[in-house]
Amino acid sequence: MQLLKNPLEPKSSSKSQSNNDMAIKTILIDDEKHALESLERDLLKHCPHVEILTSCQSAGEGILAIKELSPDLIFLDINMPGMTGFQLLDALGEYDFEVIITTAHSSHAAEAYKQEAIDFLEKPYDSDSLKKAVRKVWDKKNSLSLESYFEQLNQGQNLKKYLRIRSLGGFDWVIIDEIIYCEADGGSTKFVRANGSALYSSRNLGHFEAILAPYHFCRIHARHLINPDHLVQFNNKEREVKMSNGTRLSVSNAKSSDFIQHVIGLSID
């Protein structure tokens, strides 16, 4: 599966913003009007998939706007009169949006991450820092959307089952039936698929052995976990299996008995 193309690259200047389901619906909260205006200009110029719902000049206004508009993201200043940005978050209690902290004081960084802010921008920040912060929200929003989609597929009857594999920069979803075998590659795992391609995960083979156990995958060696649906032949004398792609893999002495009982259904005297 290809990773989602990142749309948060600069496009030609436009005064209109995206208004579709993929947009990051955003509220800006800062007591300084010029800071709000500057941030809005930067978002319009550099992050066209951010949809600005409203701007607020106090924490109180921000709380009302959040409850009414249900944003995906808020940009939140910390030092505001009456109620700080952190007090705003405390007042909300549970919340399901992302937070990017914007402040002129680097001393707030530790508290920002304690509040689980997705990023921290120290004023004055440059366009690259802003784009990177928004990109984190975009990646998280869309990886969760895809994950939810495949979870729904996996709950259905007679539908293909998928395995999510974390890869560099994102995720790949693989149809489990199409995995021929998994191979330990140092501390990582290689997935060999029926279409001839391979995928890699930084997780070790033991991690996937536990996940794939309900699908009857069987560990035949310290290095290999096979899908029995792709097993073509087992040579007991040579302690070797042949898989559907023609690959021959060794069955270790330690795994041989379990393999035969699990996959072949024979008992050994």
CA atoms of 185 and 92, how far apart (whole Å): 46
92 plus 132 within the same structural domain: yes
What burial class does residue 105 get, using C-beta atoms within 10 Å of its C-beta: 0-12 exposed, 13-18 middle, 19+ buried?
A: exposed
133 plus 170 within the same structural domain: no
Report the pLDDT value the prediction gives residue 242, as an integer from 0 to 100. Answer: 93
Report the pLDDT value the prediction gives residue 245, as an integer from 0 to 100. Answer: 94
Q: Return the sign of the alpha-carbon dihedral for residues 53, 54, 55, 58.
A: negative
pLDDT digits (tens, 9 = 90+) for 112-170: 555 567 888 888 888 888 998 888 888 777 655 555 555 555 555 444 578 878 765 56
138 plus 167 within the same structural domain: no
What burial class does residue 180 get, using C-beta atoms within 10 Å of its C-beta: 0-12 exposed, 13-18 middle, 19+ buried?
A: buried
Residue 232 lies in a domain: yes
Nearest-CA neighbor of 143 among 24, 49, 3? Answer: 3
76-104 as b/e: b if 16+ CB within 10 A: bbbebeeebbbebbeeeeeeebbbbbbbe
240 plus 168 within the same structural domain: yes
39 plus 139 within the same structural domain: yes
The upper half-sphere exposure of residue 241, i.e. CA atoms within 13 Å in the direction of its Cβ, equals 27
Report the pLDDT value the prediction gives residue 92, as an integer from 0 to 100. Answer: 87
181 plus 139 within the same structural domain: no
168 plus 75 within the same structural domain: no
Report the pLDDT value the prediction gives residue 64, as an integer from 0 to 100. Answer: 94
Residue 55 lies in a domain: yes
Mean pLDDT in the chain? Answer: 80
Judged against a pLDDT cut of 50, whether residue 107 lies above it is answered with yes
Residue 86 lies in a domain: yes
75 plus 137 within the same structural domain: yes
Report the pLDDT value the prediction gives residue 167, as an integer from 0 to 100. Answer: 61
Rg (CA), the chain: 25
**Domain carrying residue 197:** 162-264
221 plus 189 within the same structural domain: yes
What is the number of domains present in the chain?
2
Judged against a pLDDT cut of 80, whether residue 15 lies above it is answered with no
Report the pLDDT value the prediction gives residue 118, as an integer from 0 to 100. Answer: 83
172 plus 207 within the same structural domain: yes
Q: Considering 147, 177, 199, which residue would you say is the last residue of a domain?
A: 147
Give the amino acid at 63. Answer: I
167 plus 135 within the same structural domain: no
- pLDDT bucket at 16, cuts 50 / 70 / 90: very low
Alpha-carbon distances of 199 from 92, 164, 185, 195, 205, rounded to whole Å: 42, 11, 11, 11, 13
122 plus 228 within the same structural domain: no
Residue 215 lies in a domain: yes
Judged against a pLDDT cut of 80, whether residue 174 lies above it is answered with yes
Judged against a pLDDT cut of 90, whether residue 29 lies above it is answered with yes
Q: Return the sign of the alpha-carbon dihedral for residues 60, 61, 64, 66.
A: negative
Q: Considering 117, 147, 177, which residue would you say is the last residue of a domain?
A: 147
The stretch 208-219 carries a mean pLDDT of 89
Residue 186 lies in a domain: yes
The stretch 180-192 carries a mean pLDDT of 91
CA atoms of 176 and 162, how far apart (whole Å): 5
Q: φ and ψ at 114, to 5 degrees?
A: -65, -35
- DSSP-assigned letter for residue 9: S
CATH number for the domain including 109?
Answer: 3.40.50.2300
Residue 9 lies in a domain: no
Judged against a pLDDT cut of 90, whether residue 103 lies above it is answered with no
